[in-house]
Amino acid sequence: MGYVAVQGGIAAIENSQALNRYLRMRGSSVPLSIAQIMEQMGPLVDRVMSEGGLYSPFHAALAVKQASGDSIEASFLLRAYRSTLRRMVDSLPVRSDRMRILRRISSAFKTIPGGQVLGSASDYEQRILDFSLAHETEKTQREVVQEFERSLAYGVLSDAGPLEPESFLKVVDLLREQGLVPPALAPTADPAAPTDITQHSTELPLDRSGRLQMLARAETGGVLALAYSSMRGYGSVHPTIAELRVGHVRVQIPHPFRPGENVTIGWILLTEVEVVASVQRSDAEEKPVFSLGYGACFGHNEVKAISMAVLDRAMKSSSPHAPAEDQEFVLLHTDGIESSGFCSHFKLPHYVTFQADLDRLRDLRGNAE
């Protein structure tokens, strides 16, 4: 007794997995459909796609179902699935100035070229539990949809938003025209072979493209906590949101057979944020300019995109003194898959190392057995 018997370990794992499945299934409700999760839990599906690093609402919803709604676990399932997919091609940079806007706001200017679009947001909702939701039926569902669609001048609301614009002027472009923010940097790396954090381990310091990629896959709560530390006092980033956009962007790849031509392989939902922060002056000769921070992630996740932008700005600090300004601190500690994996590994047996610890302690106490 007490010995880790071989058969015991195998049987215990199998029983535990069977129990897990049983607990998910045993209630009186019908099994969740993937469609329900995709349609009614959009933000959760988006979060899993973003943290899992794979844009596929179907697979993300499946992961959510399998993980019983645990977002980190679901992201992990998706990330592992992603490892098995063949890499075929690098897409071209997306044109977010041609986004089919679902929502676009600026907290810098009251009016902006192209106009602000509030779109769907819970920001101005009073967070009062709506008990009527507990009694929703398919009939209420139909009524709500029909009533809303009747109120629209142009019939059914397209999922993808309005048609693709030729291009629009971003708020940052406005400021840039006046020389108030730093000029746009020309792409430093070869656009045909961008930094890819999934193909190489993190070599620090990481270039900006790599930093933004790591933030884009980071866990929402992780980036939020560190960005908040910078906003609140451990750092100096007090951001103004120049622009926050949510919408669909076209993804293109070079045509496999016709050189010089591009082909569209689909559309993805994206949240993109630019923040303007405190004045920076690269040297005394130059006129001061605002500093910029940028964030973009899969799906609709505004807290994450804003946090990313704040951290992007914080990590540009020339003399880092707060945790959020240190890229090693930020980038190596915000990946949800890695941090949760390591955190839970402490549940594994540590009999040998603990025995070694005991030996040392007893030795140090001078009463070794």
Partner 1 sequence: MTFRDLLPARTDFQYNFAFLDEGAKREVRRALLKAVAIPGHQVPFASPELPVARGWGTGGLQVTMSLVGPDDVLKIIDQGCDGSVNAVNLRKLLVATTGVRTTFDSREATLLQSRHRMPEIPMAEGQIAVLQVPLPEPLRLVEPSEVETRRMHAEGDYARMWVSLYEDVVQNGSVSISWGYPCRVNDSYIMSPSPLPRWDLHKLHNARQLTLLGAGREKRVYAVPPYTSVRPLEFEDLPFTVENFAGMSCARCGSTDTFLDEIYDETTGRSSRVCSDSGYCDLVREGATGARKALHG
Contact positions toward partner 1, by CB under 8 A?
A: 1-10, 12-13, 34-35, 58-59, 76, 79-80, 82-84, 86-87, 198-205, 328, 332, 337-338, 340-345, 348-353, 355-360, 363-364, 368-369
Whole-number Å distance between alpha carbons of 358 and 217: 40
Strand partners of residue 249? 268
Nearer to partner 1, 142 or 350 (CB): 350
Minimal CA–CA distance to 271: which of 300, 294, 293? 300
Strand partners of residue 276? 240, 292
Strands 262-280 and 240-254: antiparallel
Nearer to partner 1, 21 or 95 (CB): 21
Q: CB of residue 110 vs partner 1: minimum separation in angstroms?
A: 42
What three-state secondary structure class fits 47? Answer: helix
Nearer to partner 1, 23 or 358 (CB): 358
Whole-number Å distance between alpha carbons of 210 and 217: 11
Minimal CA–CA distance to 269: which of 12, 7, 76, 60? 60
CB 251 within 8 A of CB 267: yes
Nearer to partner 1, 202 or 240 (CB): 202
Nearer to partner 1, 197 or 275 (CB): 197
Name the CA radius of gyration of the chain, rounded.
25
Q: CB of residue 214 vs partner 1: minimum separation in angstroms?
A: 12
Nearer to partner 1, 174 or 331 (CB): 331
Minimal CA–CA distance to 280: which of 269, 291, 272? 291
Whole-number Å distance between alpha carbons of 259 and 81: 32
| H/E stretch holding 295 | strand 289-298
Minimal CA–CA distance to 170: which of 99, 229, 239? 99
Nearer to partner 1, 76 or 290 (CB): 76
